[in-house]
């Protein structure tokens, strides 16, 4: 029962990913761009046969195999961190799990992943106009990235805690 909440988080990410991809496929034509918030945020419909940022196009067997290993590792570490009483790490891993399953299902069933969120950053730096378009992504990608950021934050917190404990023990031993 203590694992259920984390699987529910993963399920929520997966279902939101599935739902948004279905909305995009039914309401937006392939490669069309629908502005949502000025030039900054738009919806589009793009099919990605590669990995993050469109790299390794067409390597579906590789992605499927790597994702299976990734999923097994996530579930293993999620259970391990829950047993150890960690609160933040299992949340991060559940976000990553839901995202990985969402993109895995796309690759398995269709050989490609539906991406749709488009961010464009435009600003001036010292008179130089910068126009940067972030690679198109989806809810699954967001779950994986946010989960990864939480893992990094959790690792920093754990490292700081261990450093303080080691310093405390070192000063206690000196007395």
Contacts (Cβ under 8 Å, ≥6 apart) of 22: none
- 32 belongs to the catalytic site: no
Nearest Cα to 149, choosing from 99, 76, 108, 83?
99
Instruction: List C-alpha distances in Å: 105 to 110, 112, 126, 165, 170.
Output: 8, 9, 45, 44, 51
Q: Phi first, then psi: what are they for 58, rounded to 5°? A: 75, 15
Of 39, 141, 154, 173, which is the active-site residue? 141
- Give the C-alpha separation, 171 to 139, whole Å: 48
- 141 belongs to the catalytic site: yes
Nearest Cα to 74, choosing from 99, 107, 49, 103?
99
Of 17, 106, 115, 154, which is the active-site residue? 115
Q: Assess contact for 118 and 132: CB atoms under 8 A.
A: no
128: three-class secondary structure by DSSP = strand
Residues known to be catalytic: 115, 141
């Amino acid at each position: 029962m203590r694992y259920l909440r984390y699987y529910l988080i993963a399920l929520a990410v997966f279902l939101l990913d599935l739902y948004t991809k279905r909305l995009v496929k039914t309401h937006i034509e392939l490669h069309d761009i629908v502005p949502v918030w000025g030039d900054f945020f738009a919806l589009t419909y793009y099919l990605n046969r590669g990995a993050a940022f469109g790299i390794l196009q067409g390597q579906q067997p590789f992605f499927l195999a790597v994702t299976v290993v990734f999923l097994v590792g996530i579930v293993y570490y999620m259970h391990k961190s829950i047993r150890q009483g960690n609160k933040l790490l299992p949340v991060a891993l559940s976000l990553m799990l839901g995202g990985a399953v969402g993109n895995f299902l796309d690759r398995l069933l269709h050989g490609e992943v539906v991406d749709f969120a488009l961010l464009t950053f435009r600003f001036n730096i010292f008179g130089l106009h910068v126009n940067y378009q972030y690679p198109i992504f989806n809810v699954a990608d967001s779950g994986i990235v946010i989960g990864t950021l939480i893992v990094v934050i959790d690792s920093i917190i754990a490292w700081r805690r261990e450093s303080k404990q080691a310093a405390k023990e070192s000063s206690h031993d000196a007395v």
